[in-house]
Amino acid sequence: MRDWVRVIELEAGRLVYALAPGLSGDPAAELRDGLLQATGERWQVERGEGEGAPSLREQAEALKAEQELQLRNRPLVKAAFEVFPQAELVEEEAGGGDRNWGRRA
C-alpha cells in the first residue's frame, strides 16, 4: 500500500485516503485487515475526496530526486559532467560486486 495510498485524514481508529494514479479498484478491505493486524484494533477506512498527502513511494522518489540534485550541484560532480556530458549517475548498493576490497597497513 506504500505505493498507492495517499492519506487525507488519519486519527486513532480512522483513515481517510485517496489513491495515487495507476491503481484500479478499492483496497479498503485490505487496508482494514492490515491495520487490524498491525494495531489489534478495528479501523474505519474510507476513500475520500481530494489529493491527500503523497504516498510513501512518492515521498521516497521526491527525496531521492532532491538528493540527486544536491549531488549534481557539488563542484566536483558539476566539473565531471562538464567534461563528460553523457555521463550518468549510477546507484549501487554497498557491498555489491565480486571484488573484496580491503585496506592493509
Catalogue the E-assigned strands of 3-103.
Answer: 5-11, 14-19, 44-47
Please name the residue that has the C-alpha cell 476513500.
Answer: 47
Amino acid making up residue 37 = Q
For residue 21, give the nearest of 39, 2, 5, 40 by alpha carbon: 5
Q: What is the pLDDT of residues 14-73, one digit of tens each?
A: 999 998 888 778 899 999 999 999 999 999 999 998 888 998 999 999 999 999 999 999
Do 57 and 2 form a contact (C-beta atoms < 8 A)?
yes
Domain boundaries, the chain: 5-47, 55-87
Q: At residue 102, does pLDDT exceed 80?
A: no
**Predicted pLDDT at 91:** 78
Total-model pTM: 0.62
Do 9 and 16 form a contact (C-beta atoms < 8 A)?
yes
